[in-house]
């Protein structure tokens, strides 16, 4: 049998630094909120030049793994980010622009996440989560809301379900996907001819989702959010799965 080998790819030094710090995080030796040593000490520990180290730190900051330092000295290095940022959102937007993911990919994934999120929120929502959602629905009922304002409230409503799930990863994924399709949602609103009627219907659907979460009714919550997501945009409608259930538009 003929032997086929891929050529060895030379890794740039700053990439090795990036991988080394990522490995420290993955191993648990570095945790969110930990501070790295200052630039001089860190470059000595890693055996790399300070310009190489700076390049690696810029990459890690762009990925929102590290937060830039505002201190100097031997203990003034960057912080390991303790809370997720918007890196996933920006990544999804870029991947969408490059056509690595289609709009249908994102919308179908959003559908699956949001149905699960409403179910978990119906089980776990706390009074402060309910109060936040009630405030958004109350604003949605204000007469004469334009499409852009309503789109902002729509985004806020679905983003506010995320904390009620008690699941940080679901929340971050929902935020990122909903943010990634935000402009496309506004475009869809702009194409609606009977805006007042559509806005009232969507508000009623948001209110029904809220009622299900407030009442802890998991089955009802799943049902109404499916209807809400399926009915809105035929352009994104996916093919029905083979088990006969309906998939989001």
CATH number at residue 62: 1.10.10.10
Same domain, 69 and 92: no
Among 50, 80, 110, give the residue marking a domain's end.
80
Q: Which of 121-140 are b and which e, b meaning 16 or more Cβ less than 10 Å from the residue's Cβ? A: bbeebeeebbebbeebbebb
Among 41, 64, 80, give the residue marking a domain's end.
80
For range 178-207, the mean pLDDT: 86
Within a 10 A sphere around the Cβ of 117, how many other Cβ atoms?
24
Q: What is the mean pLDDT of the chain?
A: 83
β-pair partners for 79: 35, 67
pLDDT digits (tens, 9 = 90+) for 205-243: 999 999 999 999 999 999 999 988 877 654 444 433 444
Tokens of 248: 């989001």
For range 137-149, the mean pLDDT: 94
What is the number of residues in the chain?
A: 249
For range 65-74, the mean pLDDT: 76
Same domain, 130 and 212: yes
Pairing label, strands 66-67, 79-80: antiparallel
pLDDT at residue 180 greater than cutoff 90:
no
Among 62, 80, 98, give the residue marking a domain's end.
80
pLDDT at residue 24 greater than cutoff 80:
yes
For range 59-72, the mean pLDDT: 81
Q: Give the pLDDT band of residue 245 (cuts 50, 70, 90).
A: very low
Closest CA to 233 of 187, 188, 180: 188
Same domain, 105 and 18: no
Q: Which of 2-22 are b and which e, b meaning 16 or more Cβ less than 10 Å from the residue's Cβ? A: eeeeeeeeeeebbeebbeebe
Same domain, 219 and 202: yes
Sequence-separated (6 or more) residues with CB below 8 Å from residue 151: 182, 185, 186, 189
Residue with tokens 């990522």, as numbered in its chain:
22
Same domain, 70 and 181: no
Query: Which range among 58-67, 179-188, 227-236 shows the weakest confidence by mean pLDDT?
Result: 227-236
Tokens of 239: 């093919």
Query: Which range among 82-91, 139-148, 155-164 shows the weakest confidence by mean pLDDT?
Result: 82-91
**What is the pLDDT at residue 243?**
44
- Spatial separation of the C-alpha atoms in residues 29 and 31, rounded to whole Å: 7
Query: Which range among 77-81, 129-133, 234-238 shows the weakest confidence by mean pLDDT?
Result: 234-238
**What is the pLDDT at residue 203?**
96
- Spatial separation of the C-alpha atoms in residues 85 and 65, rounded to whole Å: 9
Domain count for the chain: 2
Same domain, 128 and 157: yes
Owning domain of residue 38: 13-80
Residue 154 maps to a domain: yes
Same domain, 229 and 183: yes
- Spatial separation of the C-alpha atoms in residues 76 and 57, rounded to whole Å: 13
């Amino acid at each position: 049998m003929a032997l086929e080998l891929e050529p060895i790819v030379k890794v740039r030094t700053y990439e090795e630094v990036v991988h080394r710090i990522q490995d420290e995080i993955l191993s648990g030796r570095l945790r969110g909120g930990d501070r790295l040593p200052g630039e001089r000490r860190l470059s000595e520990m890693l055996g790399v030049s300070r310009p190489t180290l700076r390049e690696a730190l810029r990459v890690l900051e762009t990925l929102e793994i590290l937060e830039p330092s505002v201190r100097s000295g031997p203990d003034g290095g960057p912080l390991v980010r303790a809370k997720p940022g918007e890196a996933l959102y920006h990544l999804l937007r870029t991947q969408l622009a490059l056509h690595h993911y289609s709009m249908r990919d994102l919308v179908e994934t959003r559908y699956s996440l949001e149905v699960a999120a409403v179910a978990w929120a119906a089980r776990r929502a706390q009074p402060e989560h309910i109060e936040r959602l009630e405030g958004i629905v109350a604003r949605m009922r204000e007469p004469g809301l334009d499409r852009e304002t309503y789109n902002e409230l729509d985004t806020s409503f679905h983003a506010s379900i995320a904390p009620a799930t008690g699941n940080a990863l679901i929340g971050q994924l929902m935020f990122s996907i909903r943010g990634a399709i935000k402009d496309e949602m506004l475009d869809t609103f702009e194409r609606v001819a009977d805006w007042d009627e559509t806005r009232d219907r969507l508000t009623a659907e948001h209110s029904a989702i809220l009622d299900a979460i407030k009442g802890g009714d998991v089955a009802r919550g799943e049902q109404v959010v499916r209807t809400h997501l399926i009915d809105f945009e035929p352009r994104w409608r996916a093919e029905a799965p083979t088990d006969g259930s309906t998939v989001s538009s």
